[in-house]
Chain A
Amino acid sequence: MAVIFSKPKSLTDAPMHYCPGCTHGIIHRLVAQAIDDLGIEGRTVGVAPVGCAVFAYNYFACDMVEAAHGRAPAVATGLKRANPDNIVFTYQGDGDLASIGTAETVHSATRNENITIIFVNNAIYGMTGGQMAPTSLPGQVTQTSPYGRDTNTVGFPVRVCEMLATLDGPEYVARVAVNNVKNVNQARRAIKKAFENQINGKGFSLIEVVSSCPTNWGMSPQDALKWVDEKMIPYYPLGVFKDRSAAKEGK
């Protein structure tokens, strides 16, 4: 029988704990696929966050470390400096990367630390049960913004890619989504490029993946994907925000 679809080698057989309809599974697969395609599983070390993806260390087949909340880029910095031949990536959510870990994110970017960051933005704290995230949309109802995010009192969402693109440091900053086949394919290419950049010593690459959280958004998986199109992407436009090497080559 011809095999037309299989699990990437870089994922373990551990059953994932993610909710039905959650896009973490897709993103895990894309990361593992990139590691497989580039043949780097044996020298890759991943950094798991605090948040829904906390158990990522059970799912990726490469060496994994669990970091404190928001500190993954600092831990990755240490790993990479200790063994520059290793390929080091972090996998972080929006609370982790854009709230409690803002400083680590910005400074690893400005140092152009030669690491790869996968940033999953689903506009909510999932693991703790649906609190307002730094990326929750204006007016978005969450457990801790029951009347909708009031920008007068709690301010506006953080657009991480746009912010990091203002820095001279980072090599590559792009935003993708995984809510339809076309976007998944684009995301796959971007994630692979983010790893290639590291292999080629180009430096800091961050891929923001606009994602969904049907459970905490209180929607069906299909409606959640639609909400990504209708609400999230207009606020978080997809695209490449910085690509230093391409800019140099005049592309």
Chain B
Amino acid sequence: MKGNEAIAEAAIRAGCRHYFGYPITPQTEVAAYMSKRMPKIGGTFLQAESEVAAINMVYGVSAAGKRVMTSSSSPGVSLKQEGISYLAGSDLPALIVNVQRGGPGLGGIQPSQSDYFQATKGGGHGDYHLIVLAPASVQEMADLTGLAFDLADKYRMPSMLLADGTMGQMMEPVELPDKEPEMIEKPWALTGTQMKREHNIVNSLYLDPEELERINFERYERYKKVAENETRYESYMMDDAEICIVAFGIAARVSKNAVNAARQKGVKAGLIRPITLWPFPEKPIAEAADKVKAFISVELSMGQMIEDVKLASSCKKPVYLCNRTGGMIPSFDQVLDAIMNAAGGDK
């Protein structure tokens, strides 16, 4: 199964019955899959007039209390930022999938991770975060889609699956969940009062600055809980590692091979792979900072996550960048060279 199709099928199995999108490469398979399946299961597939309309349709379904998603690629996700900020400001859960391509501007259609800042630092206007999940296999495209819905509902905030073109186009065996999804009550949802309760209001407008400040502080208390409870990462060969690679998505796959090769050459390399990019796995990196000689941030960008690696490690050890951008992927050799250089430079 292709990564993009895995997302779509996993979303349906997670109880998502509403999908709104707008065509853009390289995530078209998600929409195509949804357009085939949704009508057969009583769901909604709607190709919206724009990315802006699509995300606001998502806003509507979410306000009505139902699981809902949209998917796009980088330029389209930029357009969605208005709606994403409103979702965050109104405490509405939803899943936004970004199968990233190279940028800025129209960029290219090849895989990229250069929307890292946009995804992890908010993206639209205002104080907010999304839960950002970074799959590194087709299996995770499916698993993290389900998780994204659960976490979004649990913490009443939008979540984002931050994938890239490789993950979307790649086929790998995948086991899909066949359990009924657990849905939580949403007493805040707009379903009509049925004349049985006070009217619900879903809103992000607070003209009283003290009130808006209070609400922002409350929201960040919730974010703190997300960071405490939901930070996820994979640690590979880190027990005795002297060189620590930090990489996510396809960059982590390439890096893992390079770690193995470096070990064969006698260099103790390891990998920390963030699965949640927000909340960022600060703790394992902070711990590694006391043990390793150097970090290498492997990215498909000009170096965005590297800033978080530096912050998390308090710059105790050098943090090198090993990167390609614009749609290029760091090669196995490039990552291996970076490891050998980092190891050698310290000797």
Contact = CB atoms under 8 A, between A and B. Distances in A.
A210 B46 CA distance: 32
A80 B68 CA distance: 13
Interface in B36-53: 44, 46, 48-50, 52-53
Contacts of B68: 78, 82
A15 to B, nearest CB: 15
A67 B85 CA distance: 12
Interface of B: 18, 20, 44, 46, 48-50, 52-54, 56-66, 68, 82-83, 86, 90, 190-196, 199-205
B56 A82 contact: no
A106 B48 CA distance: 12
Q: Identify the interface centre among B50, B195, B204: most chain A CB within 10 Å of its CB.
A: B195
B49 A66 contact: no
Given A77-B57, A81-B46, A43 B63 contact: no
A119 to B, nearest CB: 17
A36 B196 CA distance: 16
B192 A78 contact: no
A57 B195 contact: no
Which size class do A's interface residues fall under?
Answer: 35 or more
A67 B56 CA distance: 8
A62 B190 CA distance: 9
A181 to B, nearest CB: 31
B203 A75 contact: no
Interface of A: 12, 41-45, 47, 54, 57-58, 60-68, 71, 74-83, 85-87, 103-104, 106-107
17 contacts: A41-B193, A57-B203, A61-B193, A63-B201, A65-B60, A65-B190, A66-B204, A67-B59, A71-B53, A71-B83, A75-B57, A78-B63, A82-B64, A87-B192, A104-B52, A104-B56, A107-B53
A99 B17 CA distance: 31
Contact of B203 (A41, A66, A71, A104): A66
Given A66-B203, A82-B68, A104 B190 contact: no
Given A60-B199, A78-B58, 10 more contacts: A57-B203, A58-B201, A63-B191, A65-B59, A68-B86, A71-B52, A77-B60, A79-B64, A82-B66, A86-B191
B202 A66 contact: yes
A74 B201 contact: no
Interface-centre pick from A65, A86, A103 (highest chain B CB count, 10 A):
A65
Contacts of B193: 41-42, 61-63
Q: Which of A65, A67, A78, A106 has the most CB of B within 10 A?
A: A78
Contacts of B190: 45, 63-65, 79, 86
A78 B60 contact: yes
Contacts of B57: 74-75, 77-78, 81
A74 B82 CA distance: 13
A103 B191 contact: no
